[in-house]
């Protein structure tokens, strides 16, 4: 007898990634914001303060969410923070020239809740400097919280709270999720996509389409193009096969 398995809920598929956070208190407050909305997976990328998870300010602001704070994973790079994910959204207060597609928090939350194949990350930058362009380019979409244009500055933990709330509402609300028409393969993970870009860049250099000494904006534009496609694993393999064939042909 076949057993039907329920889709994995978003609460188990979504992680919050804080990059180079300066204030331990914001880490603790972010943990609290997550727990109030039912999320538990917190990843810290190179916090600016050593021992940030145990810092008295972090503990105080976490309040009853010490379990989320203490179980947070500490990693050395955003690539490590995104390992195992096949979708990432960068939170930013400013638009970028070569950013991935812009999404509203509510729109993204509905997508994440509806598509059980997405193992996603919400990525938040440093309180003062935000996310680097390089970090944003590693993500599939750019998130911007609609706020008062005369004063649009949100505290880091407040931004985490807004996104966690929208994701919770999308997960337990009554809105009908969008359905996919036709076949959909497994979405490629961030490691696969980064490997594809490195492979593709090598091929473009080999055929003199990309000048490594004067690259301009070619690779960021290609990243932006492919971020709109939600690449599947098989599609990444096809692109790497093309790159491999280019490299072989140039070597002959």
Residue 59 to residue 73: CA distance in whole angstroms: 16
In this predicted structure, which of 26-30, 45-49, 138-142, 246-250 has the lowest mean pLDDT? 246-250
- Is residue 39 predicted with pLDDT exceeding 50? yes
Q: For the chain, what is the domain count? A: 2
In this predicted structure, which of 23-32, 170-179, 216-225 has the lowest mean pLDDT? 170-179
Q: Quick: pLDDT tens for 52-70.
A: 999 999 999 999 999 999 9
User: pLDDT confidence of 250, banded at 50, 70, 90?
Assistant: low
Q: Quick: pLDDT tens for 154-212.
A: 899 999 999 999 999 999 874 444 455 556 788 899 999 999 999 999 989 999 999 88
Q: Within this chain, do residues 160 and 216 fall inside the same structural domain, yes or no?
A: no
Q: Within this chain, do residues 163 and 196 fall inside the same structural domain, yes or no?
A: no
Q: Within this chain, do residues 121 and 16 fall inside the same structural domain, yes or no?
A: yes
pLDDT at residue number 1: 43
Q: Within this chain, do residues 63 and 143 fall inside the same structural domain, yes or no?
A: yes
User: CB under 8 Å to 242, separation ≥6 — which residues?
Assistant: 203
Q: What is the CATH number of the domain that holds 83?
A: 3.40.1280.10
Q: Are the C-beta atoms of 120 and 14 separated by less than 8 Å?
A: yes
- Is residue 33 predicted with pLDDT exceeding 80? yes
Q: Quick: pLDDT tens for 122-166.
A: 999 999 989 999 999 999 999 989 888 888 778 999 999 999 999
Q: Within this chain, do residues 155 and 207 fall inside the same structural domain, yes or no?
A: no
User: pLDDT confidence of 252, banded at 50, 70, 90?
Assistant: low
Q: Are the C-beta atoms of 34 and 160 separated by less than 8 Å?
A: yes
Q: What average pLDDT is seen over the chain? A: 89
Using DSSP bridges, classify how beta strands 41-45 and 87-91 pair: parallel, antiparallel or unpaired: unpaired
Can you count the helices (H) and strands (E) in the chain?
A: 10, 7
Question: What domain range is 206 assigned to?
Answer: 190-251
Q: What is the CATH number of the domain that holds 231?
A: 1.10.8.590
Q: Within this chain, do residues 67 and 133 fall inside the same structural domain, yes or no?
A: yes
> What share of the chain in percent tops pLDDT 90?
68
Of residues 64 and 96, which shows the higher confidence score?
Answer: 64
Residue 192 to residue 119: CA distance in whole angstroms: 14
């Amino acid at each position: 007898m076949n057993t039907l398995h329920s889709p994995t809920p978003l609460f188990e598929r979504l992680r919050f990634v804080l990059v180079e956070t300066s204030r331990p208190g914001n880490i603790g407050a972010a943990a609290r914001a997550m727990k109030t909305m039912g999320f538990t997976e917190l990843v810290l990328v190179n916090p600016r303060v050593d021992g940030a998870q145990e810092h008295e300010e972090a503990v105080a602001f976490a309040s009853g969410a010490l379990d989320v704070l203490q179980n947070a994973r500490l990693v050395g790079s955003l690539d490590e923070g995104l390992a195992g994910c096949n979708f990432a959204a960068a939170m930013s207060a400013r638009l970028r020239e070569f950013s991935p597609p812009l999404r509203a928090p509510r729109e993204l939350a509905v997508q994440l809740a509806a598509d059980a194949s997405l193992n996603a990350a919400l990525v938040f930058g440093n309180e003062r400097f935000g996310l680097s362009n390089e970090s944003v380019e590693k993500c599939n979409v750019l998130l911007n919280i609609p706020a008062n244009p005369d004063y649009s500055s949100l505290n880091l933990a407040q931004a985490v709270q807004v996104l966690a709330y929208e994701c919770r509402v999308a997960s337990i609300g009554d809105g009908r999720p969008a359905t996919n028409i036709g076949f959909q393969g497994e979405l490629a993970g961030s490691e696969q996509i980064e490997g594809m870009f490195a492979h593709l860049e090598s091929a473009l250099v080999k055929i003199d389409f990309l000048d490594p000494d004067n690259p301009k904006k070619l690779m960021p534009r290609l990243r932006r193009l492919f971020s709109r496609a939600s690449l599947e694993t098989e599609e990444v393999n096809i692109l790497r096969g093309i790159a491999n064939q280019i490299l072989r042909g140039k070597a002959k």
